[in-house]
Structure formats: structure tokens, C-alpha cells
């Protein structure tokens, strides 16, 4: 992807995962093309990528809309994740090599740094990547694809329904998972993973006040201008 397209993709992702846009808000190609100085074709490519990652809902002949996850969906998704990731944890217990342990430990440090900095969007993204990193340790592309689908759906649930202060909890839980895997106790590793996913689910709560339906064009334009000033 072109460098500018990648920057636009990263910015829209960050805005979505930080919960700045209301569920169902439409991202209009022409408006975004004007904001970012890209052609509609390039904007469409970015929106399609975000749709594939379940951060947007792409409706034929209507356009792209901020995903509208529900807590009912959360129960089904987290149950599926417990089934799949419990198996991953049991499979990897005592089998991680030094390079894999180092990669997971380094990733956990990046998660904690993002949480400490209050970077919610980065925290959510890194949290999902931790689980994908674990799935990659299994060496199965099929397992990775299945988990990618579930993690993508989870990201927007967390963005909309989890408290802003929950990131540090996830960091602690990820470190506990790595510790259990290194100890080689499969039952403990499965239990730790199940507990972690269940705790995330219990932390999902409707907000007391619905999010205002902010104009996506205005929000993204402001974020883009702030980002450009920071890069100078």
C-alpha cells in the first residue's frame, strides 16, 4: 500500500478503536478523499480493508459505516474464542521456544507502555495482536485465519463497551498467560486463557450516555491535521 494510504488507514483505525465515532456513522468516500487528498479509488481500497477487518460494515450500494457490535454478539464471540484459544493454550504449554517467549514478553511490554501512556486505540490493537501472536506459534495458517476473524470482531466490542481503564488489567492477564505457558502446565494454561477471555467479557458494559453522532469527516479531518503537525 502507498505510504500515504497506509498513514490514512492507520489514522482511521486509531479513531475507530478509540471509540470517537458512533456506531452506524457513515464514512463518505468523497468527503474522505477531500480530507486526505487521495482519490476515491484509494479511499475505497482503505475502507474495504477496514471492512475486511470488521471495523467497518460495508453495505452494497450504500457505503461504509462504523461497525455496530452488540453485547448479544459478544457472548457468542467470546464463547468461540474460549473454545479456540483454550485449545491454543493447551497446545503451546511447555512448547514455546526461546524466541517465541522473547517475542511474547516484548509484546507484553509494548502493551503496558501503551496502557501507561493512555493510548487506548494502540492498547486495543496490541491486545488483539497478542492473541494472534500466540496463534502464530502453533504454525497453522488455518488457526490463524479463524482467530483473526474472531479478534477483529472483538476489537470494536472492546472499543465500544469496555472501560477506558481496563487496559492495565489485560496487560496483567497476558503476562499471566505467558507465565502459565512457560511453566508447561497445560491445564493451568487453558484455565488462565479461559479466565482472561471471560474477564474481558464481564468488563463489557453499555455506556451510561450514548455516543454523540459526531460527523466522521470533521473528526478525521481534525485528527489528520493534528497528526501532520506532530510529524513536522
pLDDT (tens, 9 = 90+) of the chain, 232 residues, equals 567 899 999 999 999 998 889 889 999 999 999 999 999 999 999 999 999 999 999 999 999 999 998 888 899 999 999 999 999 999 999 999 999 999 999 999 999 999 999 998 999 999 999 999 999 999 999 999 999 999 998 999 998 898 877 677 789 999 999 999 999 999 999 999 999 999 999 999 886 554 556 789 899 989 898 877 666 6
Nearest in space to 200 (alpha carbons), one of 116, 75, 113, 69: 75
Task: Please tell me whether residues 116 and 11 are part of one structural domain.
Answer: no
Q: Are 101 and 113 in contact (CB under 8 A)?
A: no
How many CB atoms lie under 10 A from the CB of residue 214?
14
Q: What CATH number corresponds to the domain at position 166?
A: 1.20.120.530
Q: How far is CA 27 from each of CA 23, 80, 120, 125, 218, rounded to the nearest angstrom?
A: 11, 30, 22, 21, 11
Task: Please tell me whether residues 60 and 100 are part of one structural domain.
Answer: no
Q: How far is CA 207 from each of CA 20, 72, 116, rounded to the nearest angstrom?
A: 13, 15, 23
- Supply the pTM of this predicted model: 0.85
Which residue segment(s) compose the domain that 112 sits in?
A: 71-202
What's the gap between Cα 181 and its chain centre? Answer: 23
Sign of CA pseudo-dihedral 96, 98, 99, 103? positive
E strands, the chain, are 26-27, 56-59, 63-66
Give the pLDDT confidence score for residue 87 in this predicted structure: 98
Task: Please tell me whether residues 48 and 92 are part of one structural domain.
Answer: no
Task: Please tell me whether residues 161 and 193 are part of one structural domain.
Answer: yes
Give the pLDDT confidence score for residue 84 in this predicted structure: 98
Task: Please tell me whether residues 84 and 181 are part of one structural domain.
Answer: yes
Task: Please tell me whether residues 128 and 196 are part of one structural domain.
Answer: yes
Q: How many domains does the chain have?
A: 2
Amino acid at each position: 500500500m502507498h505510504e500515504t494510504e497506509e498513514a490514512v488507514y492507520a489514522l482511521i483505525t486509531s479513531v475507530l478503536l478509540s471509540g470517537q465515532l458512533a456506531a452506524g456513522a457513515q464514512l463518505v468516500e468523497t468527503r474522505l478523499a477531500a480530507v486526505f487528498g487521495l482519490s476515491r479509488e484509494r479511499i475505497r481500497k482503505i475502507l474495504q480493508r477496514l471492512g475486511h477487518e470488521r471495523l467497518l460494515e460495508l453495505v452494497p450500494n450504500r457505503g461504509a459505516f462504523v461497525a455496530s457490535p452488540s453485547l448479544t454478539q459478544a457472548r457468542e464471540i467470546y464463547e468461540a474464542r474460549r473454545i479456540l484459544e483454550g485449545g491454543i493454550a493447551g497446545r503451546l504449554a511447555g512448547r514455546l521456544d526461546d524466541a517465541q517467549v522473547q517475542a511474547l514478553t516484548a509484546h507484553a511490554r509494548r502493551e503496558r507502555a501503551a496502557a501507561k501512556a493512555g493510548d487506548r486505540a494502540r492498547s486495543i490493537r496490541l491486545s488483539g495482536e497478542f492473541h494472534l501472536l500466540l496463534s502464530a506459534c502453533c504454525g497453522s495458517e488455518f488457526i490463524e485465519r479463524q482467530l483473526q476473524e474472531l479478534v477483529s470482531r472483538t476489537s470494536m466490542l472492546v472499543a465500544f463497551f469496555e472501560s477506558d481503564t481496563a487496559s492495565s488489567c489485560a496487560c496483567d492477564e497476558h503476562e499471566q498467560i505467558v507465565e502459565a505457558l512457560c511453566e508447561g502446565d497445560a491445564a493451568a494454561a487453558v484455565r488462565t486463557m479461559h479466565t482472561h477471555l471471560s474477564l474481558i467479557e464481564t468488563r463489557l458494559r453499555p455506556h451510561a450516555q450514548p455516543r454523540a453522532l459526531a460527523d466522521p469527516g470533521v473528526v478525521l479531518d481534525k485528527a489528520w491535521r493534528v497528526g501532520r503537525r506532530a510529524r513536522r
